[in-house]
A and B are shown apart, each in its own frame.
Chain A
Amino acid sequence: MPIGLQAEPSAGVAGKKRWAMVIDLRRCIGCMACVAACKAEYDVPLGVWRTIVKVKDTGQYPNTKRHFLPRLCNHCDNPPCVRNCPTEATYKHEEGYVLQRYERCIACRTCMAACPYNARHVLPNSRTRVKIGGVVDKCTFCEHRVSNNLVPACVQTCLGRSRIFGDLNDPNSEVHKLVGGMPTVTLKSEKGTKPQVYYIKPAQQIVNQIYSPPESYAAKSDAEAFYRHNKGRQFFGGVL
Chain B
Amino acid sequence: MFEYMNFHIAPWGWELSVYFFLIGTAGMAYALATAPVMFGGRFEALRPLQLPGLVLAFVIVLICGPLLIHDLGQPMRFLYPILYFHWTSPLSWGSLFLLMFAACVVLFWWFDRAGNTAPLKPLAIIGSLLGLSMPLYTGNDLMVQTTREVWATPWIPVLFVVLSVTSGAAALAVIGMIRKTDDADASKILHAVMLSGVATTLFLFLGLLLSFLYGSEEMQLGWHILNDQFAMQVWLLTLVVGILAPLALLVRPDIGRRPQILAVAGIASLIGAYAFREVILVAGQLPQLYY
Contact = CB atoms under 8 A, between A and B. Distances in A.
The reply, when asked whether chain A contacts chain B directly with Cβ atoms under 8 A, is yes
Contact of A238 (B10, B92, B147): B10
Task: Bin chain A's interface residue count.
Answer: 35 or more
Contacts of A191: 146-147
Interface string A78-117: 0010011111110000000000000011111110111111
B4 A238 contact: no
A148 interface: no
8 contacts: A55-B1, A108-B72, A114-B144, A211-B218, A211-B221, A222-B2, A223-B7, A240-B229
Interface string B1-32: 11111111111111010000000000000000
A192 B14 CA distance: 29
B13 A237 contact: yes
Given A84-B90, A235-B13, A238-B8, A106 B2 contact: no
A63 to B, nearest CB: 18
Interface residues of B, number: 51
B290 A213 contact: yes
Given A53-B5, A88-B86, A237-B282, 8 more contacts: A57-B3, A83-B88, A104-B77, A107-B74, A116-B147, A219-B4, A235-B11, A238-B285
A223 B221 CA distance: 17
Interface stretch (A12-20, A167-175, A226-234): A226-234
Nearest to B83: A87
A136 B12 CA distance: 13
B145 A114 contact: yes
A134 B11 CA distance: 13
Interface in A41-97: 49, 52-57, 80, 83-89
B1 A210 contact: no
A223 B91 contact: no
Contacts of B218: 210-211
A216 B1 CA distance: 12
User: Interface residues of A: mostly helix, strand, loop or mixed?
Assistant: loop
Interface in B88-126: 88-92, 95
Contacts of A110: 11, 89, 91, 141
Interface of A: 5, 30, 32, 49, 52-57, 80, 83-89, 104-110, 112-118, 121-122, 134-136, 188, 191-193, 210-216, 218-219, 222-223, 226-227, 230, 234-240
B214 interface: no
A222 B3 CA distance: 10
A192 B10 CA distance: 22
- Of A32, A53, A87, A121, the most chain B CB neighbours within 10 A belong to A87
A85 B90 CA distance: 9
Contacts of A135: 73-74
A59 to B, nearest CB: 14
Interface in B271-286: 282, 285-286
Nearest to B151: A113
Contacts of B16: 237
B48 interface: no
Given A215-B3, A222-B4, A118 B289 contact: yes
A237 B10 contact: yes
B36 interface: no
Interface string B136-176: 00000100111110000000000000000000000000000
B156 to A, nearest CB: 13
